[in-house]
Amino acid sequence: MTGLLDDLTIIVTGGGAGIGLGVVRQCRAAGARVIVFEVDPGKAETVEKTGGVFHRVDVADPVGLSEAITAVDECYGPIYGLVNNAGITIQKPLNALSLDEMELLWQVNQRSVLVGVQAAAPLMEKAGEGSIVNIASNHARASDQGYEAYAGTKGAIVAMTRAMAWSLGPAGIRVNALAPGLTMTETVSDLAEDPARSKEFNSWHALGRVNSVDDIGKLTAFLLSRNAAAITGAEIVADQGMSARLGAI
C-alpha cells in the first residue's frame, strides 16, 4: 500500500508524549521516516517503540535546534516536513505570572517555531519542496482566565504561519497552523479519571468526546502530505466546534 508520506523525512518536536507521539505514530503509518526532537531522555524508549528516531534536543536552545536540523538533513536525507509541536502550558492568575515564566513560554512555544523554520526552510528549498505544520491551539481564538501568556504564544503561531506561507511559498514550501482543542494526552487523561470532570470535558465538544492524540496525528499527516497541496497559510481548527459555539463555555 502506498502511504501519504512514503520515504519522506519528517521532524517532530516534542514527539515523546501526548499529541507529538500521536503525530509520530500517524506519520509512521503514512510511510514517513520520523525524527523526534525531545528534551526528556526518559521518552527515548517510547519514541523508538513507536518507530521514531530519538534525538535529545531542547527547542528553547536556538543553536542546538538549528544544529540538530542541519544534522538530520545530512544523516537522513532531505528534510521534507517539520512539525513544530513542542509546547508548554502555564496557567496562572495574570498578576502572578513572573517574567521568567513569560520568557520560558516565548522561548519554548514561539521562538522555537521561528528558529526551526529559519533552519529548515533553506534545506527544504534546496530539495525543491517542504511542508511545515505549527501546532497552535484553540486558545488562539477563545481563551480563559490565567492563559494570557500561553494564548499569546498560540495566537502568535497562527499569525506567524500566515506570514511564513508567503515568505516560503515561492520556494515550494507550505506552512499551516493546526489548532487542536482539548486532546487526550496523559495530563488530560489523569484529570478525566474523575467522572464529573470527564463529563464536563465531553460536553465542550459537539461530538461529545475529547480528541485523541491520533485524531490530531492524522490531520497533521494529511496537512504535511502532497494531498494538501492547495492549503498554505491556513489555521485548521480541530476542536469539534468548541471555539465556534455561541456563548461558549
Ligand X SMILES: NC(=O)c1ccc[n+]([C@@H]2O[C@H](COP(=O)([O-])OP(=O)(O)OC[C@H]3O[C@@H](n4cnc5c(N)ncnc54)[C@H](O)[C@@H]3O)[C@@H](O)[C@H]2O)c1
Which residue from 5, 14, 33, 217 is in contact with ligand X, where contact means CB under 6 A? Answer: 14
Q: Does 17 bind ligand X (CB under 6 A)?
A: yes
Q: In the range 23-82, which residues lie near ligand X by CB under 6 A?
A: 37-40, 43, 57-60
Which residue from 180, 218, 225, 237 is in contact with ligand X, where contact means CB under 6 A? Answer: 180
Element (H, E) at 99: helix 99-105
Q: Which residue lies nearer to ligand X by CB, 88 or 127? A: 88
- Partners of 135 in the β-ladder: 178
Which of 28, 83, 36 shows the shortest CA–CA distance to 56?
A: 36
Q: Tell me which stretch binds ligand X (CB under 6 A): 27-35, 115-123, 180-188, 229-237.
A: 180-188
Which of 97, 102, 85, 224 shows the shortest CA–CA distance to 157?
A: 85
- Quote the CA–CA distance of 51 and 32 in Å, as a whole number: 10
Q: Tell me which stretch binds ligand X (CB under 6 A): 8-16, 73-81, 192-200, 225-233.
A: 8-16
Cell digits for 105?
513560554
Which residue from 87, 130, 152, 217 is in contact with ligand X, where contact means CB under 6 A? Answer: 87
Helix (H, G, I), strand (E, B) or coil at 229: coil
CA-CA distances (angstroms) from residue 12 to 30, 137, 179?
14, 17, 16
Which residue from 9, 26, 161, 185 is in contact with ligand X, where contact means CB under 6 A? Answer: 185
Helix (H, G, I), strand (E, B) or coil at 4: coil
Q: Which residues of this protein are in contact with ligand X, per CB under 6 A?
A: 13-14, 16-20, 37-40, 43, 57-60, 85-89, 108, 135, 137, 180, 182-183, 185-188
